[in-house]
Homo-oligomer: A and B are copies of this chain.
Amino acid sequence: MIYFNSDYLEGAHSAIMERMMETNMMQTVGYSCDEICDSARAKVRAACNAPEADVHFLVGGTQTNTTVIAALLRPWQGVVSAVSGHINCHETGAIESTGHKVIALPTPDGKLTAKQVKDYVEWQKNDESEEHIVQPGMVYISHPTETGMLYSKAELTEIFNTCREYGLPLYIDGARLGYGLTADGNDLSLPEIAQLCDVFYIGGTKVGALFGEAVVIMNEKYKKDFRFMIKQRGGMLAKGRLLGIQFDTLFTDDLYTKIARNANDMAYQIRDIFVSNGYLLLFDSPTNQQYPIISDEELAILGKNFGYEYWERVDETHSGVRFCGSWATTQEQVDALREAVNALKK
Protein backbone atom coordinates (compact mmCIF):
# COMPACT_ATOMS: atom_id res chain seq x y z
CA MET A 1 0.00 0.00 0.00
CA ILE A 2 1.07 3.55 -0.72
CA TYR A 3 -0.68 6.22 1.34
CA PHE A 4 -1.51 9.68 0.09
CA ASN A 5 -4.03 10.37 2.88
CA SER A 6 -2.25 13.22 4.56
CA ASP A 7 1.07 14.94 5.05
CA TYR A 8 1.81 13.45 8.47
CA LEU A 9 2.07 9.77 7.63
CA GLU A 10 5.82 9.34 8.13
CA GLY A 11 8.29 10.35 10.84
CA ALA A 12 10.69 13.20 10.14
CA HIS A 13 13.11 14.25 7.44
CA SER A 14 16.35 12.31 7.69
CA ALA A 15 18.37 15.44 8.52
CA ILE A 16 16.25 15.89 11.61
CA MET A 17 16.58 12.27 12.64
CA GLU A 18 20.35 12.41 12.26
CA ARG A 19 20.52 15.51 14.41
CA MET A 20 18.31 13.80 17.01
CA MET A 21 20.71 10.89 17.14
CA GLU A 22 23.82 13.07 17.34
CA THR A 23 22.50 15.16 20.20
CA ASN A 24 20.74 12.40 22.05
CA MET A 25 23.11 12.09 24.98
CA MET A 26 23.88 15.79 25.26
CA GLN A 27 22.79 17.24 28.57
CA THR A 28 20.75 20.43 28.32
CA VAL A 29 18.45 22.42 30.52
CA GLY A 30 14.77 21.90 29.93
CA TYR A 31 11.77 23.87 28.72
CA SER A 32 13.37 25.26 25.54
CA CYS A 33 15.90 27.36 27.45
CA ASP A 34 18.83 25.46 25.93
CA GLU A 35 21.32 26.64 23.35
CA ILE A 36 19.87 24.60 20.48
CA CYS A 37 16.53 26.30 20.92
CA ASP A 38 18.35 29.64 21.03
CA SER A 39 19.97 28.83 17.73
CA ALA A 40 16.68 27.72 16.21
CA ARG A 41 14.95 30.87 17.38
CA ALA A 42 17.68 32.96 15.80
CA LYS A 43 17.32 31.13 12.50
CA VAL A 44 13.55 31.49 12.47
CA ARG A 45 13.88 35.21 13.19
CA ALA A 46 16.41 35.52 10.38
CA ALA A 47 14.21 33.65 7.92
CA CYS A 48 11.35 35.96 8.85
CA ASN A 49 13.60 39.02 8.66
CA ALA A 50 12.18 39.84 12.05
CA PRO A 51 15.02 40.40 14.47
CA GLU A 52 12.66 41.65 17.20
CA ALA A 53 10.19 38.80 16.98
CA ASP A 54 9.63 36.42 19.86
CA VAL A 55 9.77 32.79 18.77
CA HIS A 56 8.29 29.93 20.81
CA PHE A 57 8.14 26.25 20.04
CA LEU A 58 5.01 24.24 20.79
CA VAL A 59 4.16 20.63 20.11
CA GLY A 60 1.02 20.58 17.95
CA GLY A 61 -1.44 22.69 16.04
CA THR A 62 -4.48 22.57 18.30
CA GLN A 63 -2.28 23.32 21.27
CA THR A 64 -0.73 26.24 19.44
CA ASN A 65 -4.02 27.71 18.30
CA THR A 66 -5.53 27.40 21.74
CA THR A 67 -2.52 28.91 23.48
CA VAL A 68 -2.21 31.88 21.16
CA ILE A 69 -5.89 32.66 20.94
CA ALA A 70 -6.54 32.41 24.66
CA ALA A 71 -3.50 34.61 25.31
CA LEU A 72 -4.71 37.37 23.00
CA LEU A 73 -8.37 37.62 23.88
CA ARG A 74 -10.14 39.21 26.81
CA PRO A 75 -12.92 37.12 28.39
CA TRP A 76 -15.80 38.77 26.53
CA GLN A 77 -14.15 38.51 23.13
CA GLY A 78 -14.32 35.92 20.41
CA VAL A 79 -12.14 35.05 17.46
CA VAL A 80 -13.37 35.65 13.93
CA SER A 81 -12.77 32.67 11.65
CA ALA A 82 -14.06 31.15 8.45
CA VAL A 83 -16.75 28.53 9.15
CA SER A 84 -14.35 26.00 7.67
CA GLY A 85 -11.47 27.15 9.90
CA HIS A 86 -9.65 24.39 11.75
CA ILE A 87 -10.44 25.99 15.11
CA ASN A 88 -14.14 25.93 14.27
CA CYS A 89 -14.33 22.41 12.89
CA HIS A 90 -11.61 20.08 13.99
CA GLU A 91 -10.33 20.94 17.42
CA THR A 92 -13.13 19.43 19.55
CA GLY A 93 -14.05 22.84 20.86
CA ALA A 94 -10.57 23.62 22.15
CA ILE A 95 -11.05 27.36 21.67
CA GLU A 96 -14.40 27.35 23.39
CA SER A 97 -12.86 25.33 26.19
CA THR A 98 -10.77 28.42 26.94
CA GLY A 99 -13.96 30.46 27.23
CA HIS A 100 -14.12 32.10 23.82
CA LYS A 101 -16.63 31.91 21.00
CA VAL A 102 -15.44 31.20 17.50
CA ILE A 103 -17.30 33.79 15.45
CA ALA A 104 -17.63 31.75 12.30
CA LEU A 105 -18.26 33.56 9.02
CA PRO A 106 -19.29 31.60 5.93
CA THR A 107 -16.99 31.66 2.92
CA PRO A 108 -17.13 29.97 -0.47
CA ASP A 109 -13.51 28.82 -0.34
CA GLY A 110 -12.36 29.00 3.27
CA LYS A 111 -10.82 32.43 2.80
CA LEU A 112 -12.01 35.36 4.89
CA THR A 113 -12.09 38.73 3.18
CA ALA A 114 -11.27 42.13 4.62
CA LYS A 115 -14.78 43.22 3.78
CA GLN A 116 -16.31 40.39 5.79
CA VAL A 117 -14.27 41.30 8.80
CA LYS A 118 -15.10 44.97 8.44
CA ASP A 119 -18.81 44.34 7.97
CA TYR A 120 -19.03 42.04 10.94
CA VAL A 121 -17.16 44.37 13.26
CA GLU A 122 -19.20 47.35 12.15
CA TRP A 123 -22.42 45.42 12.62
CA GLN A 124 -21.54 44.32 16.14
CA LYS A 125 -20.31 47.75 17.21
CA ASN A 126 -23.41 49.46 15.97
CA ASP A 127 -26.02 47.01 17.08
CA GLU A 128 -28.35 48.23 19.82
CA SER A 129 -27.52 45.06 21.71
CA GLU A 130 -23.78 45.52 21.23
CA GLU A 131 -22.97 44.55 24.80
CA HIS A 132 -25.01 41.37 24.49
CA ILE A 133 -23.02 40.15 21.53
CA VAL A 134 -19.56 38.60 21.77
CA GLN A 135 -17.03 41.27 20.89
CA PRO A 136 -14.76 40.33 17.98
CA GLY A 137 -11.33 40.41 19.58
CA MET A 138 -9.04 38.99 16.90
CA VAL A 139 -9.04 37.45 13.45
CA TYR A 140 -7.84 33.94 12.65
CA ILE A 141 -6.96 32.77 9.16
CA SER A 142 -5.08 29.76 7.88
CA HIS A 143 -2.54 30.08 5.14
CA PRO A 144 -2.94 27.86 3.25
CA THR A 145 -6.53 27.20 4.26
CA GLU A 146 -7.90 23.81 5.26
CA THR A 147 -8.23 22.88 1.60
CA GLY A 148 -4.95 24.41 0.54
CA MET A 149 -6.11 27.77 -0.76
CA LEU A 150 -3.82 30.79 -0.66
CA TYR A 151 -4.25 34.43 0.20
CA SER A 152 -2.58 36.79 -2.23
CA LYS A 153 -0.36 39.56 -0.93
CA ALA A 154 -3.07 42.05 -1.81
CA GLU A 155 -5.73 40.09 0.05
CA LEU A 156 -3.64 39.57 3.14
CA THR A 157 -2.59 43.22 3.16
CA GLU A 158 -6.18 44.31 3.02
CA ILE A 159 -7.19 41.99 5.85
CA PHE A 160 -4.30 43.15 7.98
CA ASN A 161 -5.09 46.80 7.33
CA THR A 162 -8.69 46.20 8.33
CA CYS A 163 -7.57 44.47 11.49
CA ARG A 164 -5.28 47.38 12.31
CA GLU A 165 -8.08 49.83 11.68
CA TYR A 166 -10.22 48.10 14.30
CA GLY A 167 -7.47 47.22 16.72
CA LEU A 168 -7.87 43.50 16.14
CA PRO A 169 -4.79 41.31 16.17
CA LEU A 170 -4.44 39.06 13.14
CA TYR A 171 -3.23 35.53 13.75
CA ILE A 172 -2.21 33.21 10.93
CA ASP A 173 -2.33 29.45 11.39
CA GLY A 174 0.55 28.18 9.30
CA ALA A 175 0.17 24.45 9.91
CA ARG A 176 1.05 24.00 6.23
CA LEU A 177 2.81 27.31 5.72
CA GLY A 178 5.71 25.74 3.87
CA TYR A 179 3.37 24.39 1.22
CA GLY A 180 1.92 27.85 0.75
CA LEU A 181 5.28 29.61 0.52
CA THR A 182 6.47 27.28 -2.21
CA ALA A 183 3.28 26.98 -4.24
CA ASP A 184 3.01 28.01 -7.85
CA GLY A 185 1.37 31.39 -8.00
CA ASN A 186 2.14 32.33 -4.41
CA ASP A 187 3.27 35.94 -4.08
CA LEU A 188 3.98 36.05 -0.34
CA SER A 189 7.41 35.55 1.22
CA LEU A 190 7.96 34.53 4.84
CA PRO A 191 9.15 38.04 5.83
CA GLU A 192 6.07 39.51 4.17
CA ILE A 193 3.77 37.19 6.05
CA ALA A 194 5.53 38.15 9.26
CA GLN A 195 4.95 41.81 8.49
CA LEU A 196 1.29 41.27 7.66
CA CYS A 197 0.11 39.84 10.96
CA ASP A 198 0.53 40.12 14.71
CA VAL A 199 1.24 36.47 15.45
CA PHE A 200 1.64 33.44 13.20
CA TYR A 201 3.03 29.98 13.37
CA ILE A 202 5.25 27.98 11.09
CA GLY A 203 4.06 24.40 10.99
CA GLY A 204 6.56 21.65 11.51
CA THR A 205 4.34 18.61 12.09
CA LYS A 206 3.06 18.59 8.52
CA VAL A 207 6.29 19.80 6.93
CA GLY A 208 9.00 17.36 7.83
CA ALA A 209 9.24 17.43 11.61
CA LEU A 210 8.23 14.67 14.00
CA PHE A 211 6.14 17.33 15.67
CA GLY A 212 6.42 21.00 16.51
CA GLU A 213 5.14 24.42 15.56
CA ALA A 214 7.08 27.67 15.78
CA VAL A 215 5.02 30.59 17.03
CA VAL A 216 6.30 33.96 15.88
CA ILE A 217 5.03 36.96 17.84
CA MET A 218 5.54 40.11 15.82
CA ASN A 219 3.49 42.56 17.87
CA GLU A 220 5.28 43.77 20.98
CA LYS A 221 1.98 43.92 22.83
CA TYR A 222 1.52 40.17 22.88
CA LYS A 223 5.03 39.11 23.87
CA LYS A 224 4.92 39.52 27.63
CA ASP A 225 4.48 36.40 29.75
CA PHE A 226 3.68 34.14 26.79
CA ARG A 227 5.76 31.36 28.31
CA PHE A 228 3.47 31.27 31.33
CA MET A 229 0.63 30.65 28.92
CA ILE A 230 2.50 27.86 27.14
CA LYS A 231 3.18 26.16 30.45
CA GLN A 232 -0.39 26.51 31.66
CA ARG A 233 -1.78 25.08 28.42
CA GLY A 234 0.46 22.01 28.69
CA GLY A 235 2.65 23.01 25.76
CA MET A 236 6.00 23.46 27.49
CA LEU A 237 7.94 20.36 26.56
CA ALA A 238 10.36 19.23 29.30
CA LYS A 239 12.95 18.24 26.71
CA GLY A 240 12.34 21.39 24.75
CA ARG A 241 15.53 20.93 22.84
CA LEU A 242 13.69 18.37 20.70
CA LEU A 243 11.77 21.26 19.22
CA GLY A 244 14.90 23.31 18.90
CA ILE A 245 16.70 20.52 17.07
CA GLN A 246 13.91 20.18 14.58
CA PHE A 247 13.46 23.84 13.76
CA ASP A 248 17.16 24.47 13.77
CA THR A 249 17.51 21.76 11.15
CA LEU A 250 14.50 22.88 9.11
CA PHE A 251 15.84 26.43 9.00
CA THR A 252 19.36 25.46 8.03
CA ASP A 253 20.15 25.66 4.32
CA ASP A 254 16.52 26.31 3.44
CA LEU A 255 15.53 22.75 4.23
CA TYR A 256 12.00 23.80 5.18
CA THR A 257 11.47 25.38 1.78
CA LYS A 258 13.05 22.58 -0.17
CA ILE A 259 11.03 19.77 1.34
CA ALA A 260 7.84 21.80 1.14
CA ARG A 261 8.40 22.34 -2.56
CA ASN A 262 8.76 18.59 -3.03
CA ALA A 263 5.26 18.14 -1.62
CA ASN A 264 3.83 20.64 -4.08
CA ASP A 265 5.72 19.16 -7.00
CA MET A 266 4.37 15.72 -6.22
CA ALA A 267 0.87 17.09 -5.67
CA TYR A 268 0.92 18.86 -9.02
CA GLN A 269 1.90 15.60 -10.68
CA ILE A 270 -0.97 13.88 -8.89
CA ARG A 271 -3.36 16.55 -10.11
CA ASP A 272 -2.08 16.11 -13.65
CA ILE A 273 -2.51 12.36 -13.44
CA PHE A 274 -6.19 12.81 -12.75
CA VAL A 275 -6.89 15.84 -14.92
CA SER A 276 -5.08 14.38 -17.95
CA ASN A 277 -7.23 11.30 -17.53
CA GLY A 278 -10.36 13.41 -17.66
CA TYR A 279 -11.22 13.58 -13.98
CA LEU A 280 -12.78 16.71 -12.58
CA LEU A 281 -11.51 18.32 -9.39
CA LEU A 282 -13.73 19.19 -6.44
CA PHE A 283 -11.90 22.51 -6.56
CA ASP A 284 -8.59 23.68 -7.83
CA SER A 285 -6.13 23.80 -4.98
CA PRO A 286 -2.72 25.37 -5.53
CA THR A 287 -0.82 23.50 -2.83
CA ASN A 288 -0.08 19.96 -1.68
CA GLN A 289 -3.66 18.75 -1.26
CA GLN A 290 -5.54 17.69 -4.42
CA TYR A 291 -9.20 16.76 -4.65
CA PRO A 292 -10.13 14.63 -7.68
CA ILE A 293 -13.68 13.41 -8.19
CA ILE A 294 -13.67 9.68 -8.77
CA SER A 295 -16.36 7.08 -9.31
CA ASP A 296 -16.97 4.81 -6.35
CA GLU A 297 -16.20 1.83 -8.52
CA GLU A 298 -12.78 3.14 -9.43
CA LEU A 299 -12.13 4.22 -5.86
CA ALA A 300 -12.66 0.63 -4.79
CA ILE A 301 -10.04 -0.50 -7.25
CA LEU A 302 -7.54 2.23 -6.40
CA GLY A 303 -8.17 1.69 -2.71
CA LYS A 304 -6.60 -1.74 -2.87
CA ASN A 305 -3.17 -0.24 -3.36
CA PHE A 306 -3.47 3.42 -2.52
CA GLY A 307 -4.61 5.32 0.55
CA TYR A 308 -6.54 8.58 0.15
CA GLU A 309 -8.82 10.64 2.39
CA TYR A 310 -12.53 10.53 1.73
CA TRP A 311 -13.79 14.09 1.42
CA GLU A 312 -17.41 14.25 0.34
CA ARG A 313 -20.06 12.63 -1.78
CA VAL A 314 -20.55 14.36 -5.13
CA ASP A 315 -23.36 12.34 -6.60
CA GLU A 316 -24.77 8.87 -6.27
CA THR A 317 -21.81 7.26 -7.94
CA HIS A 318 -18.98 9.75 -7.42
CA SER A 319 -16.99 11.07 -4.49
CA GLY A 320 -14.47 13.82 -3.97
CA VAL A 321 -11.34 12.51 -2.29
CA ARG A 322 -8.07 14.00 -1.13
CA PHE A 323 -4.59 12.98 -2.24
CA CYS A 324 -1.71 14.72 -0.48
CA GLY A 325 1.84 15.21 -1.54
CA SER A 326 4.22 15.66 1.36
CA TRP A 327 7.87 16.34 2.08
CA ALA A 328 8.23 12.53 2.05
CA THR A 329 6.41 11.67 -1.14
CA THR A 330 8.69 10.04 -3.69
CA GLN A 331 8.64 10.01 -7.46
CA GLU A 332 8.23 6.24 -7.28
CA GLN A 333 5.05 6.55 -5.26
CA VAL A 334 3.57 9.04 -7.68
CA ASP A 335 4.61 6.95 -10.66
CA ALA A 336 2.83 3.95 -9.16
CA LEU A 337 -0.31 6.05 -8.79
CA ARG A 338 0.01 7.27 -12.38
CA GLU A 339 0.22 3.76 -13.65
CA ALA A 340 -2.80 2.71 -11.65
CA VAL A 341 -4.94 5.62 -12.77
CA ASN A 342 -3.92 5.26 -16.37
CA ALA A 343 -4.84 1.59 -16.13
CA LEU A 344 -8.33 2.51 -14.97
CA LYS A 345 -8.90 4.40 -18.17
CA LYS A 346 -7.75 1.72 -20.53
Are A24's CB and B12's CB within 8 A?
yes
Of all chain B residues, the one with the shortest Cβ separation from A74 is B225
Cβ contacts A16-36/B at 8 Å (1 or 0 each): 010011011111111100000
In the complex the two chains form, what is the Cα distance from A324 to B211 in whole Å?
Answer: 28
Question: Which of B29, B62, B206, B239 sits near A211, CB closer than 8 Å?
Answer: B239
- Interface stretch, picked from A124-132, A147-155, A179-187, is A124-132
> Using Cβ atoms and an 8 Å threshold, which residues of chain B touch A242?
11, 210-211
Q: Which of chain B's residues have a CB closer than 8 A to the CB of A234? A: 59-60, 62-63, 66-67, 94, 233-235
Most buried by B among A5, A211, A307, A328: A211
A89: Cβ under 8 A from any B Cβ = yes
Q: Is the CB of B233 within 8 A of A211?
A: no
For A228, what are the chain B residues with a Cβ–Cβ distance below 8 Å? 76, 92, 131, 135
The reply to whether B92 and A100 form a contact with Cβ atoms under 8 Å apart is no
Main secondary structure of the interface of A (DSSP, over half): loop
CB distance from A267 to the nearest CB of B (A): 16
A231 engages B132 (CB within 8 Å): yes
A12 surroundings in chain B (CB, below 8 A): 24
State A67–B30 Cα separation when bound (angstroms).
22
Within 8 A of B (CB), among A230-256: 231-239, 242
By beta carbon, the residue of chain B nearest A33 is: B131
* A229 CB-CB contact with B under 8 Å: yes
Q: Which residue of B lies closest to A34 (CB)?
A: B9
The interface residues of chain B lying within 8 Å CB-to-CB of A8 are 30, 238-239
Q: Is the CB of B29 within 8 A of A11?
A: no
Q: Which of B59, B90, B101, B309 contacts A96 (CB 8 A)?
A: B101
Q: In the complex, what residues of B have CB within 8 A of residue A48's CB? A: none
Q: Is A161 an interface residue (CB 8 A)?
A: no
Taking the complex as formed, is A10 at the interface, i.e. its CB lies under 8 A from any CB of chain B? Answer: yes
Asked if A96 contacts B94 (CB within 8 A), the reply is: no
Nearest-Cβ distance from residue A160 to partner chain B, whole angstroms: 23
In the complex, the answer to whether A92 meets B134 with C-beta atoms within 8 Å is: yes
Q: How far is the CB of A79 from chain B (nearest CB, A)?
A: 10
Within residues 66 to 82 of chain A, which ones have a CB less than 8 A from any CB in chain B?
66-67, 70-71, 74-76, 78
| Known A76-B231, A210-B242; 20 more pairs at CB < 8 Å | A5-B29, A6-B30, A8-B239, A10-B25, A10-B27, A27-B307, A59-B234, A60-B238, A70-B75, A75-B232, A78-B96, A92-B231, A93-B134, A94-B233, A97-B99, A128-B310, A131-B228, A132-B231, A210-B239, A211-B242
What are 20 A-to-B residue pairs whose CB atoms are below 8 Å? A5-B29, A8-B239, A9-B27, A10-B27, A11-B20, A14-B24, A17-B20, A27-B307, A60-B238, A74-B225, A75-B97, A75-B232, A76-B92, A76-B228, A89-B132, A90-B132, A92-B231, A92-B232, A93-B134, A97-B232
